[in-house]
Amino acid sequence: MPTFDQIDLNTLSIFDAVAETGGFTAAADKLDIAKAKVSLQIARLEQQLGTSLFTRTTRQVSLTDAGRQLHEQCQPYLAGLREALHQLGNPETELHGVLRVSASVNHASQSVAPALAQFALLHPGLRIDLRTNDRITDLIADGIDLSFRMGWLRDSSQRAIKLGEFEQWLLASPAYLKKRGRPQHPSELREHEWIALSLLPAPLTWKLTGPDQQICQVHTKSRIQVDAPSSLLALLQQGLGISVMEQMSALPAIKAGKLERLLPEWSLAQGGIYAVLPPGRHMPAKVRAFIDFYRKYLQ
């Protein structure tokens, strides 16, 4: 197996062009080189790696499993290298290309989307692709440049930048509290209906800290669970029980009188707001610029 410095980066660039265009002729046209050179470089790369990267037929060229794996790993680095060279040679150049951002549905609607709207106005040469999903996405497989996550990162190996923190609040609707009464101590939560958010690792176990640093751990019971914060918010407002939400999602409903915060003198663990990046050392200028912009937006 050859070492990295034995493989020509130009060859990897040719490989990337064939993978992206789906053909040797199209890749040659894109790179403005002879088709014979494309074929020769791909054959040499396959010989060096000891595996086939493309399946060739008279009609099309498609990636093998090994080729797909190589492309997924190399493409972000090649794209980052091209952008770094472009920015270095044109430091005053407007941001360009596509910025693909992922965030949960609630977080996107509350702050990421408004921030992206302002950012897009500042950089008209940049295209924005915002993808919302309440479940964790595969940044490499989905081609995501930047993902925003709230809570606690389970994988310590992730490239993540902490942008801020948020509080978790106990919530219920006025109708529910009129019917079931307002809990005066965390231990009373055991007797109430609970709406569980199944995305959490322990949606029915909560540890609260009192004003005198007293700790109270509560195991709640639930007959209703949801898999998205937006659904949790809707059910809370319908008066189906008590639950916990982060402050940014809860505040509009509280101001509108649809929810009330419970036991404000007791606090739950604070969560973090993170910018999560795909593997690799290089951070594209468009990503770095939006992280800086969003950090100030949150403040």
pLDDT attached to residue 102: 93
Outline where the chain has alpha helix (H).
9-21, 24-31, 35-49, 65-89, 105-107, 113-122, 174-180, 229-237, 247-255, 285-298
* pTM of this structure: 0.61
- Which residues, listed in sequence order, are joined to residue 62 by a DSSP beta bridge? 55
| Ranges of CATH 3.40.190.10 domains, the chain | 97-165+272-298
| Ranges of CATH 1.10.10.10 domains, the chain | 4-89
Class assignment of domain 168-269? alpha beta
pLDDT attached to residue 204: 96
Q: What percent of the residues of the chain are helix, what percent strand, and what percent coil, each to the nearest 5?
A: 40, 25, 30
- Give the residue among 273, 232, 299, 293 at the shortest CA–CA distance from 147: 273
Token digits for 182? 């307002």
11 with 19: CB under 8 angstroms? no
Residues of the chain where predicted confidence (pLDDT) is lower than 70: 1-6, 80, 82-93, 154-158, 280-281
The one-letter amino acid code at 230 reads S
Pairing mode of beta strands 97-103, 126-132: parallel
Sorted by sequence, the CB contacts under 8 Å of residue 192 that are 6+ apart come out as 180, 183, 220, 241, 242
Cα–chain center distance at 174: 34
Q: Assign domain 97-165+272-298 to its CATH superfamily.
A: Periplasmic binding protein-like II (3.40.190.10)
Please tell me the number of Cα atoms within 13 Å of 195 on its side-chain side: 25
26 with 69: CB under 8 angstroms? no
pLDDT attached to residue 167: 94
Indicate the SS3 state at residue 126: strand
* Residue 78 CB neighbour total at 10 angstroms: 16
| Ranges of CATH 3.40.190.290 domains, the chain | 168-269
pLDDT attached to residue 60: 78
Sorted by sequence, the CB contacts under 8 Å of residue 88 that are 6+ apart come out as none
Class assignment of domain 4-89? mainly alpha
CA distance 18 to 39: 10
pLDDT attached to residue 10: 84
Token digits for 202? 């322990």
Q: Radius of gyration over alpha carbons of the chain, in Å?
A: 25
CA distance 150 to 2: 41
Distance linking the first and last C-alpha atoms of the chain: 50
